């Protein structure tokens, strides 16, 4: 009987070590799957809008792989020897909850990838040289706003802190040489508008940009030069003034640049020799938005994997070979 008890404990430890090793592998899968293309250099000058779609698809694929591996781990846990049933169910419950979260993130990422794919081979910073800017596709911008909201909602439920950032001051469209002209002039933007747009985007708070996208309206029709226009309206509104249109805040302007740069149809206006500056503004804006979405998703994934890790650490031994059932909390080194 003592020998049987010893063997059952060894069997339990073997199972626990395998579970721990399996979990550690999963913990690394998501980062390894998407690590190469994330962060502030997700896109670069000269990239097509479809590259943004590839970015979203790669994160979605990484989550899909993680989800599949978690399901495999759940099956492996079910086969654990001499483990207390209630502690096993706790792990399986944590895996199921995490997979529900990942499923929602995957759905949003798939939708976002579709919007960028539809924008296709158009350059991220596509501009009419010495010509009018063009409104972005309203359906595409609406879809991005809806998907960003869905990702933020999932993250909040996982207790990820979402900052509203510092939105900055209004950016007026007082002349065709001001930054808003490069975004939304109805004729060729004036000299220095491109570099000024790049400067506004460069100083924009990424968290505030995401916050402005989240809360954006997308009012179609002619843009009003002096209204406090939000990001969505600046992106989809029809250029109707040589100076473009006022942005309610710096973050609204930068977020509008990102929205226009990621969706089909949208074009900027570039003065002579300022095409490069406009492209730089667009690329920086897109990278700021993607960088924050990356951070939000990573934090959401990490929190949910940590819940599974804690549940794995709580797996208990159950000695069913003796009349007096004994349970003791034990954890494998691999999950620490």
More reliable by pLDDT, 2 or 309: 309
The tokens for 168 are 């900055």
Q: 224-239 in b/e burial notation, b at 16+ Cβ within 10 A?
A: bbebebbbbbbbbbeb
**Residues in CB range of 184: below 8 A, 6 or more apart:** 133, 173, 223, 234, 237, 239, 244, 245, 269
Q: Which of 70-84, 89-103, 118-132, 227-241 has the lowest mean pLDDT?
A: 70-84
Sole residue written with tokens 């960028």:
116
The tokens for 286 are 């897109």
Q: What is the pLDDT of residue 326?
A: 42
pLDDT of 120 higher than 80: no
More reliable by pLDDT, 140 or 41: 140
The tokens for 247 are 């942005």
134 pairs with which residues across the strands? 267
**Residues in CB range of 204: below 8 A, 6 or more apart:** 168, 250, 251, 253, 254, 255, 285, 288
Q: What is the pLDDT of residue 305?
A: 87
Query: What's the Cα-to-Cα distance from 145 to each of 82, 111, 235, rounded to whole Å?
Result: 50, 11, 12
Place 44 in a pLDDT band, splitting at 50, 70 and 90. confident
Q: What is the pLDDT of residue 32?
A: 56
pLDDT digits (tens, 9 = 90+) for 125-134: 899 998 999 9
Q: What is the DSSP string of 194-262?
A: HHHHHHHHHH--HHHHHHHHHT-----SBPPTTS-B-HHHHHHSBP-BTT---BSSHHHHHHHHHHHHH
Spatial distance between the Cα atoms of 226 and 236, rounded to a whole number of angstroms: 16
Mean pLDDT of 134-162: 97
Mean pLDDT of the chain: 86
Q: What is the pLDDT of residue 268?
A: 97
Opening angle at CA 278, ends 273 and 279, nearest 5: 105
Quick check: 204 and 262 in contact, CB under 8 A?
A: no
pLDDT of 98 higher than 90: yes
Q: Percentage of the chain with pLDDT > 70?
A: 82
CA nearest to 148, candidates 219, 208, 211, 102: 211
Strand pairing report for 316-319 and 326-329: antiparallel
pLDDT of 198 higher than 60: yes
Spatial distance between the Cα atoms of 268 and 253, rounded to a whole number of angstroms: 13
Q: What is the pLDDT of residue 331?
A: 47
Q: The whole model's pTM is what?
A: 0.86
pLDDT of 280 higher than 80: yes
The tokens for 1 are 């009987």
Q: Percentage of the chain with pLDDT > 90?
A: 59
3-state secondary structure of 177: coil
Q: Using N-to-C axis directions, what is the helix angle for 50-78 and 2-34, rounded to 10°?
A: 180
Quick check: 254 and 288 in contact, CB under 8 A?
A: yes
């Amino acid at each position: 009987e003592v020998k049987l008890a010893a063997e059952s404990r060894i069997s339990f430890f073997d199972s626990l070590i395998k579970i721990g090793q399996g979990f550690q592998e999963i913990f690394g899968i998501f980062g390894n799957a998407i690590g190469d293309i994330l962060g502030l250099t997700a896109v670069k000058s000269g990239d097509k809008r479809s590259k943004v779609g590839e970015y979203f698809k790669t994160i979605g694929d990484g989550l899909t792989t993680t989800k599949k591996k978690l399901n495999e781990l759940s099956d492996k846990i079910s086969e654990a020897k001499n483990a207390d049933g209630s502690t096993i169910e706790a792990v399986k419950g944590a895996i199921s909850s995490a997979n529900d979260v990942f499923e929602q993130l995957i759905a949003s990422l798939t939708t976002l990838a579709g919007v960028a794919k539809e924008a296709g081979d158009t350059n991220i910073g596509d501009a009419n040289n010495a010509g009018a800017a063009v409104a972005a596709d309203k359906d595409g911008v609406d879809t991005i706003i809806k998907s960003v909201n869905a990702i933020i909602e999932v993250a909040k439920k996982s207790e990820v802190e979402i900052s509203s950032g510092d939105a900055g001051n209004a950016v007026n469209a007082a002349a065709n040489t001001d930054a808003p002209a490069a975004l939304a002039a109805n004729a060729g933007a004036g000299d220095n508008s491109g570099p000024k747009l790049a400067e506004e985007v460069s100083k924009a708070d990424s968290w505030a940009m995401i916050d402005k996208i989240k809360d954006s309206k997308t009012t179609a029709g002619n843009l009003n030069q002096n209204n406090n226009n939000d990001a969505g309206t600046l992106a989809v509104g029809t250029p109707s003034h040589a100076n473009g249109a006022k942005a309610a805040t710096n973050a609204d302007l930068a977020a509008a640049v990102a929205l226009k740069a990621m969706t089909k149809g949208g074009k900027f206006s570039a003065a002579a020799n300022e095409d490069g500056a406009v492209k730089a503004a667009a690329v920086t804006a897109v990278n700021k938005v993607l960088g924050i979405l990356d951070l939000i998703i990573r934090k959401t994934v990490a929190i949910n994997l940590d819940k599974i890790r804690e549940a794995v650490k709580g797996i208990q031994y159950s000695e069913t070979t003796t009349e007096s059932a004994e349970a003791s909390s034990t954890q494998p080194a691999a999950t620490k």
